[in-house]
Amino acid sequence: MNLDKNISVLFAKDQNLISQLSELFFDFDSQLKIVSDIDSLKNLFKSESSSVKMVIAAIDSDYQITGKPTIQFLLNETGIPVIFLAKTIDDELKNLVNNSSHTAIIDQNADKSVLFSLLKLLGKKVQPETIQASNQTNSKQNGLSKPHQVRFRRLIEGLSQNICAFSHTPEGVFQYLSPNFKSVFGFDPDEFIGKNWRDLSLTEDSIKLGNEADKKVIAEGSHQTVTLLQNRPNGEQHFIEIVYGPVYENNELIAMEGACVNVTNRIKSDNELKESYRFLETLMQNLSGMVYRCENIVDWPFSFVSAGCKDLTGYEADSLLSGNPSFGQIIHPQDCEYVWKTIQSAVEKHENYELNYRIVTRDNQIKWVWERGQGIFASDGKLTFLEGFITDITRLKIAESTLRDSEQKYREIFSSTSEAIFIHHPETGKIFDINEPTLRMYGYDNKEEFLRAAESGMGALSANFPPYTDQEAQEQLNAARVGKPRKFEWLARKKDGEIFEAEVSITRSVFDGKERLLAVVSDISERKKFLENAQRTDKLESIGLLAGGIAHDFNNLLGGIYGYIELAIMKSTSSETTKYLDAAIKTMNRAKSLTQQLLTFSKGGAPDRRIDNLQDFIKETVAFALSGANISCSFSISEDLWACNFDRSQIAQVVDNIVINAVQAMPTGGNIEITAKNKSYSENEHASLSAGRYVLISVKDQGMGIGKNLMKRIFDPFFSTKSMGHGLGLTTCHSIVGQHGGVIEVDSAPGQGSTFTIILPAANLEEKPAEIKQIKAHQGSGLILIMDDEIVVRETVKTMLETFGYKVVGKENGEETLDFFKQQINQKQGFAALIFDLTIPGGMGGLETIAEIRKLDNDVPVLVMSGYSENPVMNAPERHGFNGSIRKPFSMSELSTALDRLLKKRTS
């Protein structure tokens, strides 16, 4: 949408020069106006200042007397690009122009063809800039004859650093380049003499465009204007505009010469301007009302109106622009005088106007409209037109009428409701009344104290960080002010600084006989917590089912691997092989702990605590977590570190998670500091811990740190700052440490790394770490019956038992087990023991099978095994018919111990 015309001004007295330059302006995209004296020039600017885009000023040789006022006027008062044509260019003229923001000084005697190129190029510039005068010529102009060298010296006189002149052969080989070549193209001019213009790192499309232009210059003998795109070595892209034409000697084309300017900023500005126009057009088309520009006379004739006029008035834009009807004829007759006086009063004071009135639409409906606008004034203070926006507020007016009729009812609701209600001024947004529940919700003692706090804006009653600042609150109020009721969630702030979640509804209404904005605030903190907890519970239950299944299947697989590795150790005669197998067992122990971790998170499994020292445990756990990472680690662990009563696998999981988080916080490497020390807390010294002795294990990284807004959420389930994170790691850590009677503390700030400190209760002084006793391998004889659906488990356990001296039979499910058991009884064959898997998918499991076994034999010892370590049967096997339990995966030593206990119970 361009409402202005483009005017170029030629200021000259010499008629011959005026004639020559007028001819050059035929190709310009603007209207040319010619003036010959300074008074006419000033009058032209006074009447057409917004339309004048460029001035060409011819300065007489005696400019010091007659031309100086003109120069000063153009330099100091116009603020647009000016090209000075001078018969004589001396230092005084250069200094005058160089101290300004105007464009160029050009020798009037320059070659007409070259002058045309430069004028056309400069005339298209949008932003004026200082032009530095120069008498330099390039040292490598051997290819040009002396007359052409003279032309170029005249041409480059006064060019800016963004403009250069050039000459190249018809084949494109540069013969001359002005000193400003480097500022335009980025290359030193001396290096490019003798090179082809196609070597200027131009894009393929630009080279094609330049080739086509060269062909036209050769074939037609005409000037060409092209804009080429150059890819600089540093990755930047620059747009270069070139105006050039042919040079003949003796009717033979000897060169092509012209001028270049870097127009990158101009093109970017043009693109941004086009995008702004497009955005403005889209905005106006989608407004629920109409944007207008009109004259300030009674009928309000439009010079512009947006497409929204049809929905508002029923008339097309063309009808309103043609005055059929005028907007003055649409205004309700009873409101015409009010509209006129209101607008005139505002215009006289140079103020915006805002008013409500009625219009009569094309189909004779009466609508209430809200209008806001302002007068647009020229530089001399004269009013040129009005601009504004009009929208339909009929529904709002009806609502106001309804509210007015039931105002007493609303007053009663205002006083009796449990919700907080703010009453705002519709124009300023200022709160001037609240109800009693507002004080209780926000924690203020009285209304006066609350209103004082609100005087600085809604930011004092809000979280006051984006998007909950005073600015966003005012935007919501402004939207409601123009008839758009608002309902949204908000973070509000109490007097003591506590933040709570609220739901806010804002409507425009009538209260006490006046238009007001009513904001109703509900505290939804408890409702949000309930919903979040319900969602979290659903997710945790689903994960619990998944975790249990994974743990069971994984434990079955680990059981087979465990057994075979231990058997391999027993059979191994190589110390080197035994060392590797021992390492594999340690890794298996970590894998075993992973299944327990899944159950710990999903079922809240209680820790299996044992009193132990932490020194070696911490180092081994950290070393395992750092395997393969490009991170160094330093330890500072007290030699007298107290022993703790803890679950090794669970605390290993905590250290694992925290160390891995530290590694991920330092993607380019770094150092982790591990410290462990003793600490005694007195009563009330620590907010979350009772008095006593504790061990503090700290993990400090050099990573990016954690901001305050994230710190309070890092232990929330499913919260993660990692794109692939599941948000369970720190939640599980928090749960495990809490079940041990301890806490996790975090000290962090953006850019300063993070320190996680695990605080665990120390064991009592009289409690000592259990000594590791060498357990004699179990030995026995007789038949043991195994039931497990996994063949690898059956085979592994069978081999273990055979090592102990037993004969072993394996069955896949309860049906097969019962059949074999009955056969043995009928044949008067007994069993040393039975070992049943608790869960058999698709068949009788251990619980169903033991019930049938006990009907046949109440004395045979039966051991139950399962990967579901938290199953009630595993924790109390005797209540369900079993004599003992063993958890998968288990080692030979664990199986040996379980059999010792099982058979000892029988003999006793």
The alpha-carbon radius of gyration of the chain (Å, integer) is 45
Cβ 162 vs Cβ 191: under 8 Å: no
Cα distance between residue 555 and residue 886, in whole Å: 12
Cα distance between residue 513 and residue 307, in whole Å: 36
Whether residue 1 has pLDDT greater than 50: no
Helix (H, G, I), strand (E, B) or coil at 655: helix
Whether residue 882 has pLDDT greater than 50: yes
- In the block, which residue shows the tokens 């300063």? 752
DSSP H or E stretch at residue 16: helix 15-24
CB atoms within 10 A of CB 640: 7
In this predicted model, what pLDDT tens digit does every residue of 145-168 receive, in sequence order? 444 444 444 444 444 456 788 889
Cα distance between residue 191 and residue 179, in whole Å: 12
Cβ 797 vs Cβ 564: under 8 Å: no
Residues making up the chain, counted from first to last? 908
* Average pLDDT rounded to a whole number, residues 599-610: 61
Q: Which amino acid is at 307?
A: A
Q: What is the mean pLDDT of the chain?
A: 79
pLDDT reported for residue 103: 58
Report H helices in 669-714. 708-711
Q: How confident is the model at residue 598 (pLDDT cuts 50, 70, 90)?
A: low
Q: How confident is the model at residue 137 (pLDDT cuts 50, 70, 90)?
A: very low
HEC-encoded secondary structure of 553-601: HHHHHHHHHHHHHHHHHHHCCCHHHHHHHHHHHHHHHHHHHHHHHHHHH
* Average pLDDT rounded to a whole number, residues 204-221: 93
Cα distance between residue 766 and residue 707, in whole Å: 43
DSSP H or E stretch at residue 700: strand 692-700
In this predicted model, what pLDDT tens digit does every residue of 512-524 receive, in sequence order? 667 788 889 988 8
Q: Which of 453-457, 570-574, 609-613 has the lowest mean pLDDT?
A: 570-574
DSSP H or E stretch at residue 180: none
State pTM to two decimals.
Answer: 0.33
Cα distance between residue 327 and residue 298, in whole Å: 9
Whether residue 284 has pLDDT greater than 50: yes
Whether residue 657 has pLDDT greater than 80: yes
Q: How confident is the model at residue 477 (pLDDT cuts 50, 70, 90)?
A: confident
pLDDT reported for residue 211: 95
DSSP state of 75: I
In this predicted model, what pLDDT tens digit does every residue of 393-429 receive, in sequence order? 988 888 777 766 666 666 666 766 778 888 888 888 8
Cβ 877 vs Cβ 898: under 8 Å: no
Question: Which two structure tokens, joined as six digits, stand for 641?
Answer: 């570190």
pLDDT reported for residue 129: 28
Helix (H, G, I), strand (E, B) or coil at 872: helix
CA nearest neighbour of 559 among 584, 592, 596, 581? 592
The burial of 33, by beta-carbon neighbours within 10 Å (0-12 exposed, 13-18 middle, 19 or more buried), is given as middle
* Average pLDDT rounded to a whole number, residues 248-254: 88
In this predicted model, what pLDDT tens digit does every residue of 776-832 receive, in sequence order? 678 999 999 999 988 888 888 898 899 899 999 999 999 999 999 999 999 988 899
Cβ 863 vs Cβ 836: under 8 Å: yes
* Average pLDDT rounded to a whole number, residues 755-781: 77
Q: How confident is the model at residue 208 (pLDDT cuts 50, 70, 90)?
A: very high
pLDDT reported for residue 370: 93
